[in-house]
């Protein structure tokens, strides 16, 4: 009966694993909703911000902000990579990194160097191993990320851009499309791509307080930060969705495994019984 | 002549207020501002302080903002508030911290992240072993 006992412990352990994966699945399912709500709540800000920038671009100002000027020569590009802090979320991070590596190679082939800002532990760990030029990092954003947590890393990138050390900045994250689908997206952050609402209708300008330069600088910095913040929220929702799906398939696999083990166990038990009977019958016949 | 103007107050994290108002009072960088309908287009930075709006029915509402930007357009007043206290040296400190973190990552080879990474790899190896075992079991029966 040694075999059957082993199988029984094994079944028990798989059942325990299934308990854990089930729990994780349910936790993620409830967190998706919260993450989506946060995503929705932050949308008005970037929409209004875009409007303001559209107005500013339309207005007649003699001052052109560097964030809006395309640079002809690209010697160095920056990537802001948003990843998760924790694992167990399927191929979410690895797909992102694979796609990003392709882009990095493309830029390197063109002779541009690459700077990385990592958001989230997984990105930090990944790019640390790669030994690329990691210029900034922030981890442990938690379930309720705040803009304040991103100011530091963004300043690193924005300063590098303003000082001309970086000529283009991209944002790389997982876009939440629905629970089953998350798509890797690489958006250009700087220079800001021209918006659609750029046709200038009439001649007017704002009253700037204190002056156009300061105000524009503030508006654009905040806009870029809000884009990154949105990316973080999208990525958070994607993380929970991916984890839910991964944990669901893990639970399903565990169920299947338990079924198989149960079958093996029953067979072993039956074999033992048969053997015992044949032994008794054999013994009785000998008497 | 319209006697109200649309007002939106938002932060990056949530929408705080939107609706028709008769007057918006805020603390601009150059001083107190009162915005009534038909104000000239204006864009300014806000100092930390109160934003007061007077609704159509004369009711007053107050919001505290820790800085931000106020934009006035012919039809709409937009207040983009900050959720964090912003100051040049504070921002710089945050940037320095982000840089330090990156440097620390590149220097230290056996910190928590390394361990997390090793754990992830271990989990992966275990999963592979498990899959192999299952495959073998399935082949047997």
Write the pLDDT tens digit of every residue in A118-143: 999 999 888 887 767 888 888 888 88
B131 has a pLDDT exceeding 80: no
Active site residues of A: 89
Closest in A125, A152, A257 to B95, CB measured: A152
Subunit contact A226:B12, Cβ cutoff 8 A: yes
B114 has a pLDDT exceeding 70: no
Lowest model confidence (mean pLDDT) among B26-40, B69-83, B97-111:
B97-111
A243 has a pLDDT exceeding 90: yes
For chain A, say whether B136 makes contact (Cβ under 8 Å). no
- For helices A92-109 and A212-286, the axis angle rounded to 10 degrees is 130
User: Phi and psi at residue B136, in whole multiples of 5°?
Assistant: -65, -45
Write the pLDDT tens digit of every residue in A172-184: 999 999 888 999 9
Subunit contact B13:A42, Cβ cutoff 8 A: yes
Confidence of residue A197 (pLDDT cuts 50, 70, 90): low
Q: Between these two residues, B65 and B122, which has the higher pLDDT value? A: B65
Subunit contact A134:B69, Cβ cutoff 8 A: no
Subunit contact B95:A159, Cβ cutoff 8 A: yes
Contact B52, B60 (CB under 8 A): yes
CATH topology of domain B5-87: ATP Synthase; domain 1 (2.60.15)
Closest CA in chain A for residue B92: A152
This model of the complex carries an ipTM of: 0.74
pLDDT of residue B31: 87
Q: Between these two residues, A50 and A32, which has the higher pLDDT value? A: A32
User: Phi and psi at residue A126, in whole multiples of 5°?
Assistant: -65, -45
**What percent of chain A shows pLDDT beyond 70?**
94
Contact A79, A116 (CB under 8 A): yes
Closest in B29, B99, B117 to A210, CB measured: B29
How many cross-chain Cβ pairs, A to B, lie less than 8 Å apart?
Answer: 158
In angstroms, the CA A147 to CA B100 distance is 19
DSSP assignment of B10-45 equals: EESS-EEEEEEEEEEEEEETTEEEEE-TTPPPEEEE
Nearest-CA neighbor of A42 among A229, A239, A240, A237?
A: A229
DSSP assignment of B70-83 equals: EEE-SSEEEEEE-S
- To which residue do tokens 């629905």 refer? A178
A236 has a pLDDT exceeding 80: yes
pLDDT of residue B7: 92
């Amino acid at each position: 009966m040694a075999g059957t006992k082993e199988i029984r412990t094994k079944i028990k352990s798989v059942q325990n694993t299934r308990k854990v994966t089930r729990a994780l699945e349910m936790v993620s399912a409830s967190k998706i909703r919260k993450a989506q709500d946060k995503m929705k709540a932050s949308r008005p800000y970037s929409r209004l911000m875009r409007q303001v920038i559209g107005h500013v671009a339309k207005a007649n100002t003699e001052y052109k902000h560097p964030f809006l000027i395309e640079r002809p020569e690209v010697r160095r590009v920056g990537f802001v990579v948003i990843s998760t802090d924790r694992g167990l979320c399927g191929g979410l991070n690895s797909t992102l990194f694979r796609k990003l590596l392709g882009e990095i190679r493309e830029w390197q082939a063109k002779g541009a160097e690459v700077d990385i800002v990592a958001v989230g532990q997984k990105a930090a760990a990944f790019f640390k191993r790669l030994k690329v030029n990691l210029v900034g990092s922030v981890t442990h954003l938690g379930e309720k990320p705040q803009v304040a947590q991103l100011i530091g890393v963004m300043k690193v990138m924005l300063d590098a851009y303003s000082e001309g050390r970086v000529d283009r900045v991209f944002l790389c994250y997982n876009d939440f499309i629905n629970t089953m689908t998350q798509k890797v997206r690489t958006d250009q952050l700087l220079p800001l791509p021209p918006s659609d609402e750029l046709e200038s209708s009439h001649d007017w300008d704002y009253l700037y307080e204190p002056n156009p330069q300061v105000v524009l600088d503030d508006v654009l910095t905040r806009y870029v930060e809000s884009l990154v913040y949105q990316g973080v929220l999208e990525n958070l929702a994607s993380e929970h969705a991916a984890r839910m799906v991964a944990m669901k398939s893990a639970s399903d696999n565990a169920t299947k495994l338990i079924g198989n083990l149960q079958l093996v166990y029953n067979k072993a038990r039956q074999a033992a019984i048969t053997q015992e009977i044949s032994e008794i019958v054999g013994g009785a016949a000998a008497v | 002549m319209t006697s109200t103007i649309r007002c939106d107050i938002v932060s990056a994290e949530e929408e705080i207020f939107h609706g028709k108002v008769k007057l918006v009072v805020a603390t601009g960088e150059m001083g107190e501002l009162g915005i009534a309908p038909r104000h000239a287009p204006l864009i300014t930075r806000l100092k930390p302080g109160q934003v007061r709006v007077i609704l159509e029915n004369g009711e007053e509402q107050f919001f505290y903002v820790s800085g931000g930007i106020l934009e006035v357009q012919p039809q709409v007043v937009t207040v983009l508030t900050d959720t964090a206290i912003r100051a040049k040296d504070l921002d710089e400190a945050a940037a320095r911290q982000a840089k330090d973190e990156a440097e620390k990552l590149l220097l230290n080879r056996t910190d928590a992240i390394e361990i997390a990474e090793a754990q992830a790899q271990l989990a992966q190896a275990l999963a592979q072993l498990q899959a192999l075992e299952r495959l073998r079991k399935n082949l047997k029966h």
